[in-house]
Amino acid sequence: MKSSSRNPRRDFLKTSLFVGGSFLLFPGSIYACQNREQIDYPSYVKLEREGILAKRVEEAYAIYEECRLCPRECGVNRIKGEKGFCRAPAGLKIYSANPHYGEERSLVGKGGSGTIFFSHCNLRCVFCQNWSISHEGHGKKIKETDLAGTMLYLQKIGCHNINVVTPTHIMPSILRALRIACQKGLRIPLVYNTSGYERVEMIKVLDGIADIYLPDMKFMNSRMAEKYSGGAADYPDATKKAVIEMNRQVGEHVTDKRGIAVRGLMIRHLVMPNRVSGALEFAKWVSENLSQTTYVNIMKQYRVEYKAFDYPAIWRRITVREYLEAMEWAESYGLTNLDPDSVKAMEIYRSREQRAGS
C-alpha cells in the first residue's frame, strides 16, 4: 500500500468520509483549464472522443479472466471469484474517498487531491501503514457507476485531480468508472498513485489515460523487496521498467498557472532505517535513466507498523542523519527537482545537526 507524503495517511483515513455507494449521478462541472504549457488534459477525454477509451477499457477488463494485472501473474479467473495473491475480487472495493491535503503541494492546491483508497494490495509490505485495508481488505463493495459518481463529486467540490491509490489490482474497473465519469463531465487529471509494483504491459494500457503517475520506488535491492514486500524479489526490476514507461508517456511534472499539477511523473522514495530502501542506488538510477529534473520526493515518515516489529532492521524510525544522507545523495547525483517540502525538511534537519555539533 502506498504511503502519504506529508501527513500520516492513517490519520487521514481515520477522519475521512466514507463514501461507498453514496454519490451517484452528480452533474459534471467543466473544470477551467488555465494551462500555460498548452497541454491537452485530462488526456482521457481525447481518447474517449477518438473512440479509443472504450476499446481500451474492455481489453483491460478481459484480463480479470486470467489475471496478469501485476508482476505476480497469478493467472486466476477473478470474474469467476477466484482470488490471487492480492485476494481482491474482480469488482471494486473502496475504503474512502475525500479531498486529501497531505499529498504533494502541486496535487493538493487549495481544493485538495481527490483521493480514493482501494481495498487490497498486490504488494503487501510487512511495514504497511494501512494494513487493515490493504492486507485484510476492509472496505465496501461498490459498483462502477458509484465510483464514477464519486469521481464527479470530488470534482464538484473543488478537488484538483482524481487520485486513485493502490489501483493496480482493480485497474480495469477504475477505467470503466473513469469512462462513465468522463461521459458525464469529468475533466480533472487522473493521478495513478501506485506502489510501483506494475507490469510494464499494463502501464502501456494506461497510455493516454493517466495524466500524472505517482509511483513509489520502495526498494532498489531485490533481497530487501523479497524480505519486506511479500516475496516480490522482482520489485526493483519491474518498477524500473514501469517508471521508464510512465516517463515516456507523460514526461516531467508540469503545473498550471496556479501551481497545480496537470501532467507528468512524480516519484516517491520512502527512506527506511539501515539503508534498507537503497536511497543512494535510487538517486543514481534516476540520474542515469531519467532526466535529472525529474520530480522526486524523498520521504521521511517511515513508521514502525504492522509486522515491522518482527524485523530488527526496520523496527525503528529513521534518524535525522539517515534522512540527510538520502537527500545529499539526491543532490550529489544532480537531482534538481526535489519535492519542496523535502527540501525544507532537509534545511531544518541540517541546522539541527549543526546546532547539535557546535
CB of 103 to ligand SF4, least distance (A): 24
CB of 250 to ligand SF4, least distance (A): 23
Phi, psi of 265 (to 5 degrees): -100, 130
Beta carbon nearer to ligand SF4, 124 or 263: 124
Do the Cβ atoms of 125 and 228 come closer than 8 Å?
A: yes
CB of 170 to ligand SF4, least distance (A): 8
A 10 A CB-CB count for 10 gives: 18
CB of 32 to ligand SF4, least distance (A): 37
The CA–CA distances, whole Å, from 140 to 20, 89, 92, 97 equal 6, 12, 8, 11
Match 471494486 to its residue by C-alpha cell.
Answer: 92
Match 487521514 to its residue by C-alpha cell.
Answer: 12
Beta carbon nearer to ligand SF4, 122 or 287: 122
Beta carbon nearer to ligand SF4, 88 or 290: 88
Residues of this chain that interact with ligand SF4 (CB under 6 A) are 67-70, 72-74, 76, 84-86, 88, 122, 169
Q: How far apart are the first and last CA of the chain?
A: 41
301/296 Cα distance (integer angstroms)? 15
Beta carbon nearer to ligand SF4, 90 or 272: 90
CB of 166 to ligand SF4, least distance (A): 11
Beta carbon nearer to ligand SF4, 74 or 308: 74
CB of 86 to ligand SF4, least distance (A): 3
Beta carbon nearer to ligand SF4, 78 or 160: 78
Match 507528468 to its residue by C-alpha cell.
Answer: 264
A 10 A CB-CB count for 34 gives: 10
CB of 244 to ligand SF4, least distance (A): 20
CB of 136 to ligand SF4, least distance (A): 15
Beta carbon nearer to ligand SF4, 69 or 147: 69
Residues in Cβ contact with 313 at an 8 Å cutoff, skipping those fewer than 6 apart: 273, 274, 276
- Summarize the chain as % helix, strand, coil (round to 5): 40, 15, 45
> What is the distance of C-alpha 176 from the center of its chain?
19
Beta carbon nearer to ligand SF4, 112 or 230: 230
Using Cβ positions, the residue closest to ligand SF4 within the complex turns out to be 84
* Phi-psi domain of 253 (left: phi exceeds 0; alpha: psi -120 through 50; beta: other): beta
322/261 Cα distance (integer angstroms)? 29
